[in-house]
Amino acid sequence: LVDSPIFAGKYFRKFDLTQDDKVSVTLNVMADQPEDLAATDAQIEAHKNLVKQANLLFGSHHYAHYDFLLALTNKLGGIGLEHHQSSENSGPRGYFTHWDKTFGMRDLLAHEFTHSWNGKYRRPDGLWAPDFNTPQRGTGLWVYEGQTQYWGYILAARAGLMTVPQVKEALAEVAAVYDNRQGRQWRPLIDTTNDPIIAQRSPESWRSWQRSEDYYSEGQLVWLDADTLIRKLSGNTKSLNDFAKAFFGTNNGSVVTSTYNFDEIVKTLNAVQPYDWAKFLHERLYNTSTHAPLDGFTRGGASVVYTEKPSDYIKSYSDLRHVSDFMFSLGLTVSKKGTVSEVLWGSPAWQAGVTRDQDLVAVNGVSYDPDALQDEITTAKNKDAAPIELLLRDGERYHTVSVTYHGGLRYPHLEGNTQLLDTMLAPLGAQKDAAGK
């Protein structure tokens, strides 16, 4: 019962993703409306490629059969939940029919599939218990979720679920979010592995100061850092692909959980590429710092820059979350209903006293509208421009704050040489270097 979830829906299609090894993999799609099930052959091919690329990466599988459950619905709450031989996933109604607009969540199936290897088969020893009465410790979540987050994006690109430019835009957004997260100054990444216990899986109010389950996406940046470092040190003959095969690819076909500890991670990394990996990981997990670990970008000659145009990824992701993103300019996001959903600690909005859950009623005396706020931010680029006046509603009380800001709209992008990333995101089997063998 624990590993056999059920999704039910009136409209249903089943797609066979089975590879040459004849081990059954199926994509089971439930939808609100029959037209939402209109998947094209190319779209199903990308899902087949996910299975192919995962098997090439890990060199094994740990399921007798695997069943993706995917609900395309506005009626259910969002879910992405891993099981050993299946996963529960939900997506927007336009998952297939608005393929070019809904890619902002299309690492999801790759993420949950990866968990069959990373999380269900190989599991940090603190997260394994002989029964459901024994408490678990989440110290190893930076591998369980962090590296899964990493492979989720990489496999999405290799399979064609997302394009390479889309994944690079997604990585730029992750880099920007964590580089601007001021909570890192007092709270080391490893401490965020306690968040599922402290916060019941819902971020605290001041996410950028209190931090949240940062081991997911900052963990992803740590693994990007490690992957590029292995590639550099080995002269592009080794990569994190080799780690994945060595660590997760053992005992092909076995569904028995195999536990590990920090030392085994270090030992396996050292077997791939000798280096002081214990120090590397300790610095990134246990130290506080002012900046996110972004060497995974700079090592290949890329850097995160901010421009006035949002990337397609930010547009897709913001639409899926029903928010307007002004995070790196004024320092806030606003829901479609006009409620401030997040305020960046230390940002101009924060300095003016804006807090989460206030309603943004008007901007410079005119009813709030995301496009109009964009225009006002752009107009305020002029150094002589007056502060931007925000009329906020807090329950039954209204008040106005003045935000002094002349920096214009700012959205993250990757600039410079991204050739190394392109190589890493290319499908296995098509790469000629040893890292892709």
Tokens of 271: 């077997």
Number of residues this chain uses to bind Zn ion (CB under 5 A): 1
- DSSP letter string over 264-303? HHHHHHHHHS-S-HHHHHHHHHH---SS---HHHHTTTEE
Q: Are 85 and 66 in contact (CB under 8 A)?
A: yes
Q: For the CB of residue 392, give the shortest distance to Zn ion in the complex, in Å.
A: 36
Residue with tokens 């270097």, as numbered in its chain? 433
Smallest distance, Å, CB 115 to Zn ion? 6
Closer residue to Zn ion (CB): 145 or 376 = 145
- The radius of gyration of the chain's CA atoms, rounded to the nearest angstrom, is 22
Shortest Å, Cβ 417 to Zn ion: 31
- Contact criterion met (CB below 8 Å) for 271 and 79: no
DSSP result, 47-70: HHHHHHHHHHHHS----SSEEEEE
Q: Minimum distance between the CB of residue 83 and Zn ion, rounded to whole angstroms? A: 11
- Per CB under 5 A, contacts with Zn ion among 137-166 are 145
Query: Judged by CB, which is closer to Zn ion: 145, or 342?
Result: 145
- Where residue 22 falls (left for φ over 0; alpha for ψ -120 to 50; beta otherwise) is left
Nearest in space to 70 (alpha carbons), one of 16, 111, 13, 19 = 13
Nearer Cβ to Zn ion, position 55 or 217? Answer: 217
286: nearest Cα among 215, 194, 191? 191
Closest distance of CB 226 from Zn ion, Å: 19
In the bound complex, what is the minimum distance in angstroms from residue 117's beta carbon to Zn ion?
12
Could you give the 3-state DSSP secondary structure of residue 139? Answer: coil
Choice between 200 and 290, CB closer to Zn ion: 200
Q: Which is nearer to Zn ion, 36 or 107 (CB)?
A: 107
Closest to Zn ion by CB, 84 vs 413, is 84
**Residues present in the chain in total:** 437
Nearer to Zn ion by C-beta: 212 or 358? 212
Min separation Cβ 213 and Zn ion, Å: 10
The CB-of-151 to Zn ion minimum distance in angstroms stands at 10
Name the residue nearer to Zn ion (CB basis): 88 or 145. 145
Q: How far is the CB of 119 from Zn ion (least distance, A)?
A: 7
- List, in order, residues 6 or more apart from 406 with CB less than 8 Å away: 380, 381, 382, 383, 385
Q: For residue 145, what are the contacts with CB-CB under 8 A and spacing of at least 6? A: 119, 213, 215, 216, 219
> Is there a contact between 32 and 12 (Cβ–Cβ < 8 Å)?
no
Nearer to Zn ion, 145 or 191 (CB): 145
Q: Identify the H or E element spanning 317.
A: helix 312-321
- Please say whether the beta carbons of 296 and 228 come within 8 A: yes
- Token pair, residue 177, equals 């979010």
Nearer to Zn ion, 106 or 238 (CB): 106
Minimum Å gap between C-beta 200 and Zn ion is 17
How is residue 410 written in tokens?
């700012």
Extract the tokens encoding 11. 């409209």
Q: Which residues contact Zn ion (rule: CB under 5 A)?
A: 145
